[in-house]
Structure formats: structure tokens, C-alpha cells
Amino acid sequence: ETGVTQTPRHLVMGMTNKKSLKCEQHLGHNAMYWYKQSAKKPLELMFVYSLEERVENNSVPSRFSPECPNSSHLFLHLHTLQPEDSALYLCASSPGQGTGELFFGEGSRLTVL
């Protein structure tokens, strides 16, 4: 496998469920990101990890909990979500050299009922 892989591609959950999104990158990059993509809104940066340390948390509600166990894997743990959290969640990675070139996965489409 190459690139950035996200699973699952689609997820439907109730407001009381606990689920996780997974991201894996095979590019040898040092930085990983979670973005939220909602209709008619700018792409929203949620979390940034550099060398497995969280370096950015953009005022994201605590019902979203990221985890980066190593430089190749990134998780987004979800619990007690709200319907307005329904969106496409994109994972990305970068070499961490400030070039602005991010490599994105295909996204996980989340629907909260």
C-alpha cells in the first residue's frame, strides 16, 4: 500500500455510540493532520501531530479525541457526537518541512443520527 489510507470510508453512528476513525500513512512523513470538511464551509483544521506529539488543537470539542501511537498511524476517537458533527473527516500527512504540500486520504464520511 502507498499513500494515506483511511478507514472506515463510511460510518453511521448514534449520539451515544463510541467509534474510531483510523488513518495510516506509508510515506515516511513526520506530521499528520485531521481536517473536517463540511458543505459550504472552509476546510477546518482540527488536530496536528508532529513526530507523534500534538502541536495543534483548534478548539475542538472534547467529544473528539485524537491519538497518534506512532508516526504512521493516527486515530480520531468519537463519543457522544451531535448531528452537526456529520461531515467528511480527512486525514493528511506531510514531511513536516513547511512546503505546504499535504497528502490527503480519501476521507471518512460520518453520519450522526
Partner 1 sequence: GDSVTQMEGPVTLSEEAFLTINCTYTATGYPSLFWYVQYPGEGLQLLLKATKADDKGSNKGFEATYRKETTSFHLEKGSVQVSDSAVYFCALNYNTDKLIFGTGTRLQVFP
Kindly indicate which of the ranges 14-22, 31-39, 63-71, 73-81 contains the residues binding partner 1, using the contact rule CB under 8 A: 31-39
Nearest to 93 by CA among 77, 76, 109, 71: 71
Q: How many residues sit in the footprint of partner 1 (CB under 8 A)?
A: 26
Does 69 bind partner 1 (CB under 8 A)? Our answer is no
**Shortest Å distance, C-beta 59 to partner 1:** 13
Residue 56 sits in the site that holds partner 1 (CB under 8 A): yes
CB 5 within 8 A of CB 47: no
Please enumerate in sequence order all residues whose Cβ is within 8 A of that of 32, keeping only pairs 6 or more positions apart, or say none.
23, 25, 48, 49, 68, 71, 74, 91, 92, 93
Q: Which residues bind partner 1 (CB under 8 A)?
A: 4, 31, 33, 35, 40-43, 45, 48, 56, 90, 92, 94, 96-107
